[in-house]
Structure 1
Amino acid sequence: MERLRVLKHHLQAFSPDQHYCAASDRNGRQSIRQLGVEITDPPAHLRHAFDTLLTQEAVKFLQELVQEFQDSVDQMLIARQLKKLEFDMSGKLPDFGKDDGVRKAKWTVASVPQRLQCRHVDLGDVSPSNMDHFAAALNSSAQGIQTDFDDGHCPTWANQIAGLYNVYQAVHGQLPGVAMIEHLPVLMMRPRAWNMVETNVLVNGKQVPGPLFDFGLLMFHNARRLLKTNSGPYFYLSKLEGRLEARIWDKVFSWTENKLGLPHGCVKACVLIENVLASFEMDEILFELRDHSAGLNCGIWDYSASFINKFGDRKSFLLPDRNKYVSMDRHFLRSYMDLVVATCHRRGCPATGGMAALLLPNSPASSSDYEKVLHSVQRAKGKEIKAGVDGFMVYDLGLVKPMQELFKTLTTGENQYNVTRDEVAVTAQDLLLMPSGGVTRNGLKHNISVGILFIDSWLKGEGHFRLNGAIEDSATAEISRSQVWQCIRHQALLEEDGQIVTLQMVQSVASSVVRDHLSVISDRPGNYSRLLTAAQIFLEIITKKQFPEFITSYLSQSHTWLNFHQTGKVNVL
């Protein structure tokens, strides 16, 4: 009977016969019939936020935006699959394009606005659905805030509405204790990546692309105010795989500017180079976005995971223990960062490094651990500054001022555009050279822990969590579950004793991870069952015959995750 009740609940949730202006029925799905738009009802406590954001005018704009670009996004995602199949069938590897006219020509992107000239320290993984964290970031001295609907954010319907509304309040000066937008750090808004969909909004019977939903509402409600105060609209763009995907974003920007009566080029976007294929088209990506570009960014863990995503079936791409053998000192990542810096500065735009995920201990005055963590971050980020980056991200607010001081010590201006890195001559072989090293028992357990606890975090509706003195998000979960999948697929050997990594070994380690963490969480039965469910989902993901392309797509479209955030408990059909 319980299974039948849950199934009936799911079927009812997709009933289309409601009206937008009337109160929604018990199924919670509203419909604007004349526009062909269906929107899930919000949680009761977010009704005001929902009504503020999803006005008839905003929904009409969103519907037109989606209709304009839905086919382009669908075709782009198909093109991704075809390119992956081509690599699989041919055994070939990516290379720089034979048509190098864009790379050899002399051109620069449009100059970035004054408020983007100095991008020393951004706060990363700031989900605006977490009001306490968001407000603390707004009140910090950071140059910018990665206002995140992607890696550090869990896209439940409640989180989407709350996050978008909190951004709206910040932009319009409605947050108590927070200054007006022109006096705050710059909001670098990050919509979801192309792989994500918004399951709670249908346009003409189709779920809408998650990034178009996020971008559309952020622009409709905030762009004019941001532009008037010289504060935006500025964005981060995640997980692009090449120039054609950048071209779609550029068309989205131009269409939106025209539709909203904004000046062409007012939207600026920094592209995160988080995919190995994108590293071969950096010039081309900047060229496609040349009127809208705010440079490029390095994202080490999504970037490293993309090697497994694209070439993980090949044993030659077995990535070693990431904690022991994978860092920006390794040739393939150092080459990647050098190329980002050289490309951006040649084209007149900022090059930014990745995020420092380490967390400072709470007692700086008496803790030697504080100095140890601070020194570790200073050492790593100092290398990036010396390589020529113009900025990077930190998660811990306590690291903002020390890192700003580090920039003042090692540089002399707002940015390092003058560091042209003319000596950089990166080849395809440089970018594709896997680091040497093996798989360790500790590394395997760490990856399993991150994977399970990330899924558990998502089931709680949270996009990131703390583990062993560092912040973990979808990027670290991505590399973690990817490495475990790859170790099982290639029967990797543990370097300590030569044991083969098998599913049975992973199951045993996963059980120990669950036991370890049951001792530190509440003893409420809901927490226990949720953690067990997370472990089960993790084991599903790492044993799939076909590698699931993104852990976030896998989770956000699973019945378990969707049902948990509809009914408040996990029901597995």
Structure 2
Amino acid sequence: MWYFIFSKTFKQLKPKPQVHQGVELETPPSGLEREFHTLFNSDALQFLSELISTFQAEVDKVLNLRVLRKVQLDLTGELPGFLKDTAHIRNDPSWRVSPVPDRLHCRHVDVGDLSPCDTQRLIIGLKSTAQGLQIDFDDGNCPTYRNQIKGIYNVYQAVHNQFQDVPPISQAPVLMLRPRAWNMVEHNMMVNGREVPGPLFDFGLLMFHNAKLLLQNQSGPFFYLSKVESYMEARLWSQIFFWTEKKLGLPAGCIKATVLIECVLASFEMEEILYELKEHSAGLNCGIWDYSASFVNKFGHRADFLLPDRSKYVDMEKRFLHSYMDLLVQTCHRRGALATGGMAALLLPRDKESDLYKTVLRTVTRLKLLEIRAGVDGFMVYDMDLIEPMQKLFQLHSHGQNQLLQLREDITVTPEDLLTMPAGGVTLYGLRYNIAVGVLFIEAWLSGRGHFFYLGKVEDSATAEISRSQVWQWIRHQVRLEDDGTVVTRALVKLTLRNTDLFSTSTLFRDKQRLMTAVSVFIEIVQKNVFPEFLTTYLNLDHTFLSSQSQHENGQPDMVPKARL
């Protein structure tokens, strides 16, 4: 794919891509030549080519199955349930996942949303007392070519102990590597004439350069798998893991993966997902915002699934969410797998003596105590100052390294429990908040960043997904605000945008232009007749991201994005 980069004074055509045995790879971003040539040596390219060639057709299949399932739900109006065809798996009490390595037994507190291209934060994380680091190429990362190369190379440096004054990988927090999800494509590499699946690009490079050393140090390779929607997708990952282990001469089953249950459809297939990955499973993870957004994704056009204001009516204590967490813990512990909770997005104020600091800490403590009492074996925080107090909380309210013995046999979760939307309406504050998060995420993405900070929280693609999903759904169903009965329409969204202070912090012309572009994209996406399945897919395939990405990576000033040529 060719990109033309324009400035006020010149027009430049990028150098020709490198071609290696069926692999077409864009030339390295300026300043990353050493990293590029370290990662993309001939052996690595050969491995990537074989990996992608072997599994491209299967990736196409699972993505088509997603489309088919959505069409079936729309045409029939049916609701998901526990699958009849796999009842024998759920009803067989004998099977268990393979035991996890020692380093995964106790992961009370991981650092989440750690974008690997952020070298400084990665180093701080490696020096921290966290038990694990979520090395996030997905939710908290913007996958520009520069960011991917820098991030994968930073992992390489961490594993090969090339960072100064950082503990060796055998003593540092364990790396939980999170490649992109199946909806993401890597534009800068082609194999057999096709752009490659983003997760195979990330996974392949991470495995090729780090797996053997991680294994030697009893520190991996460990992964998070994002946005898995069915057991068929888990089966594909299992096939990829077995193939990779054999190809790299690794013991079968040495790769361990935690599947993030971020889709309502997957909540009905958790046992099957564990079963498909039983040799490679490190457990399941539950979180709030991607999972909540999936209801709009799958059922948002149905009035029965109107999701109320998340800032007021949606939290893990609501029936559909606490049932999901209870079922996840019960399922995992029944099969000997670890269950992990979501990420605390709140940021602690600097002043530890302030009332605000105490309020934030109390809020995080209450929410995480809810997860501990549900039986989770660990969870994530973004703010590293929360590591120590949350570890103490875990030690105080749990027993031992994990809670695998908490089988939660006291609960029974029904499809109705999982599908009952919370009561509540929509507020003007909630509308403003969702609009701000959606727009500011798009602006961050166009700047090459995958997360940002707003009103004392870290916001990433998960919160952006629920934000834009709710605005789309409220417009679609013409809901009325609790405040004054005003109907939520496209015109109201535009008026609300004009009355916000989003532009007040933008002083440079290019910043204002980029923010105006983000506003335009947000308006465009929330008024679509057909709901765009993933915000990141929309941005990743849209010309606005591609053009801005090209400018950003060549060190040129950001400008109004132009059409892809």
1:552 and 2:536 are equivalent in the alignment: yes
Alpha-carbon distance in structure 1 between the residues aligned to 2:214 and 2:91: 36
- Is residue 561–residue 570 contact of structure 1 (8 Å, CA) maintained in 2? no
SS of structure 2 residue aligned to 1:244: helix
Q: Cα gap change, 1:545/1:10 in structure 2, threshold over 3 Å: closer, same or farther?
A: farther
1:527 and 2:511 are equivalent in the alignment: yes
2:247 aligns with 259
Structure 2 counterparts to residues 55-454 of structure 1, below 5 A: 55-99=41-85, 100-105=87-92, 106-364=94-352, 366-454=353-441
Q: Determine what percentage of the aligned residue pairs are the same residue.
A: 56
Alpha-carbon distance in structure 2 between the residues aligned to 1:10 and 1:277: 42
Count of paired positions: 549
Deviations for 1:304-358, whole angstroms, at most 9, x for unmatched residues?
Answer: 0000000001011110000110001000000000000000000001100000000
SS of structure 2 residue aligned to 1:201: strand
Alpha-carbon distance in structure 2 between the residues aligned to 1:408 and 1:48: 44
In structure 1, which of residues 542, 555, 559 is the aligned counterpart of residue 526 of structure 2?
Answer: 542
- Is residue 129–residue 159 contact of structure 1 (8 Å, CA) maintained in 2? yes
Q: Which amino acid is the alignment partner of residue 173 of structure 2? A: P
How far did residue 29 of structure 1 move?
3.9
How far did residue 10 of structure 1 move?
7.5
Q: Which amino acid is the alignment partner of residue 268 of structure 1? A: K
How far did residue 119 of structure 1 move?
1.2
Structure 1 unaligned runs (5+)? 1-6, 12-24
- Is residue 29–residue 38 contact of structure 1 (8 Å, CA) maintained in 2? no
- Is residue 4–residue 13 contact of structure 2 (8 Å, CA) maintained in 1? no
> TM-score when scaled to structure 2?
0.96
Alpha-carbon distance in structure 1 between the residues aligned to 2:441 and 2:291: 18
SS of structure 2 residue aligned to 1:198: strand
1:467 aligns with 454
How far did residue 571 of structure 1 move?
2.6
Q: Which amino acid is the alignment partner of residue 450 of structure 1? A: V
2:555 aligns with none
Alpha-carbon distance in structure 1 between the residues aligned to 2:315 and 2:16: 47
Alpha-carbon distance in structure 1 between the residues aligned to 2:29 and 2:59: 30
In structure 2, which of residues 4, 11, 15 is the aligned counterpart of residue 9 of structure 1?
Answer: 4
Deviations for 1:27-69, whole angstroms, at most 9, x for unmatched residues?
Answer: 2342325x21111111121000000000010000000000000
1:571 and 2:561 are equivalent in the alignment: yes
- Is residue 436–residue 502 contact of structure 2 (8 Å, CA) maintained in 1? no
- Is residue 145–residue 185 contact of structure 1 (8 Å, CA) maintained in 2? yes
SS of structure 2 residue aligned to 1:324: helix
Runs of 4+ in 1 over 4 A off after TM superposition: none
Alpha-carbon distance in structure 2 between the residues aligned to 1:127 and 1:8: 26
1:496 and 2:470 are equivalent in the alignment: no
In structure 2, which of residues 31, 38, 46 is the aligned counterpart of residue 45 of structure 1?
Answer: 31
SS of structure 2 residue aligned to 1:183: coil
Alpha-carbon distance in structure 2 between the residues aligned to 1:559 and 1:512: 28
How far did residue 495 of structure 1 move?
1.1
RMSD over aligned Cα, in angstroms?
1.3
How far did residue 26 of structure 1 move?
4.6
> TM-score when scaled to structure 1?
0.94
How far did residue 517 of structure 1 move?
2.5
Structure 2 unaligned runs (5+)? 7-11, 553-558
Deviations for 1:250-281, whole angstroms, at most 9, x for unmatched residues?
Answer: 00000000000000000000000000000000
Alpha-carbon distance in structure 1 between the residues aligned to 2:392 and 2:80: 40
